[in-house]
């Protein structure tokens, strides 16, 4: 059984300016594990992509609620869940295909690919009309700083 060292939950409107807030909140919270800058940047990028997917694809032209939870699990693992109650995904496998997008020509279709490349584990659950949950996990290097961990 995993031992949760610390955790938090957020809920916020699916407005584009809240993407930076979610990224910063996750980074500030994770900082207590003393991640490397590369690890922190990887996590911030993955959170940005997950939240942006909720805004652009989940709620499309409406404002809904995005839920984000972050858990710090022993020895030094970060688990993040980002969830919406938007339109859902009809075909998750297709949605995870690089370059596929439902967001129009200005979207790259690389969101899931980016999340997957920066995190150790990524899972996506979705139901049409009910929303999508993205779960990500990353193990951090254990550095000795000060008195160690």
- Determine which one of 19, 39, 49, 79 is catalytic: 49
Q: Identify the DSSP state of 120.
A: S
Give dist(CA 66, CA 148) in Å, integer: 35
- Determine which one of 18, 19, 53, 79 is catalytic: 53
Nearest to 50 by CA among 132, 149, 138, 143: 132
Give dist(CA 16, CA 85) in Å, integer: 16
Give dist(CA 115, CA 135) in Å, integer: 10
Give dist(CA 74, CA 10) in Å, integer: 22
Does residue 49 have an active-site annotation?
A: yes
- Determine which one of 107, 116, 125, 135 is catalytic: 107
Q: Which residues are part of the catalytic machinery?
A: 49, 53, 107
């Amino acid at each position: 059984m995993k031992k949760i060292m610390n955790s938090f939950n957020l809920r916020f409107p699916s407005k584009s300016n809240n993407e930076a807030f979610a990224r910063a909140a996750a980074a500030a919270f994770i900082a207590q594990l003393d991640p490397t800058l590369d690890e922190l940047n990887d996590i911030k990028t993955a959170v940005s992509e997950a939240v942006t997917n909720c805004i652009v694809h989940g709620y499309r032209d409406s404002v809904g609620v995005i839920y984000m939870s972050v858990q710090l699990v022993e020895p030094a693992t970060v688990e993040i869940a980002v969830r919406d109650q938007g339109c859902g995904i009809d075909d998750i496998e297709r949605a995870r295909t690089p370059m596929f997008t439902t967001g129009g020509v200005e979207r790259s279709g690389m969101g899931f690919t980016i999340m997957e490349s920066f995190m150790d584990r990524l899972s996506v659950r979705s139901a049409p009309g009910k929303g999508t949950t993205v779960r990500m996990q990353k193990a951090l290097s254990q550095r000795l700083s000060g008195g160690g961990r």
